[in-house]
Amino acid sequence: MKIMNQIRIALKSIAIISKVIKFMKAGLGVKKSQPPREPRMYMIVRSDLDTTYRVVQGAHALAKYAMEHPDEFHLWNNQFLIALSVWNLQALYALGEKLQNEYPDLKFSAFIEPDQDHRMTAIACYTTGEVFEGLPLAR
């Protein structure tokens, strides 16, 4: 009888672990950015860059946004700034293309870094955030 109880407990444990693994694979339980209702300034950086470099590149994208879209920049009024990340250069290019093609009225600025062989390093955008849903916070 004691062995049967141990087997039942082991099977229940396995079932629970299986559910946890399924949740993890589905991305559930992982804290992701949630889009706010009011527009906010978003800064998207590449996580394959050094941490300090990410901050600088995000600031460059924000400054470029201020120059290219001054009306939206003034609407932001230095309120909420949300820093998100993408994995690498290809993911940032894909995000830029998505913004251009699927959200043609959405204004954004992409910063191209001369010291990175003129490659894109960050994007800034003032929006409610739906387009960035699921991107992780920058670290």
Q: Tens of pLDDT along 42-84? A: 999 999 999 999 999 999 999 999 999 999 999 999 999 999 9
**Average pLDDT along the chain:** 84
Other Cβ atoms within 10 Å of 3 Cβ, number:
7
Query: What b/e readout covers 108-128, taking b as 16+ CB neighbours within 10 angstroms?
Result: bbbbebeeeeeebbbbbbbbe
Q: How much is the pLDDT for 22?
A: 52
pTM listed for this prediction: 0.74
**CA–CA gap between residue 55 and residue 59 (Å, rounded):** 6
Q: How much is the pLDDT for 136?
A: 97
Tokens of 121: 């390093």
In one-letter notation, the amino acid at residue 14 is I
Q: How much is the pLDDT for 27?
A: 47
Each residue's pLDDT tens digit, 79-97: 999 999 999 999 999 999 9
The yes-or-no verdict on residue 13 having pLDDT over 50 is no
**CA–CA gap between residue 20 and residue 97 (Å, rounded):** 35
**Residue of higher predicted confidence among 15 and 78:** 78
Identify the DSSP state of 41: E
Q: How much is the pLDDT for 37?
A: 77
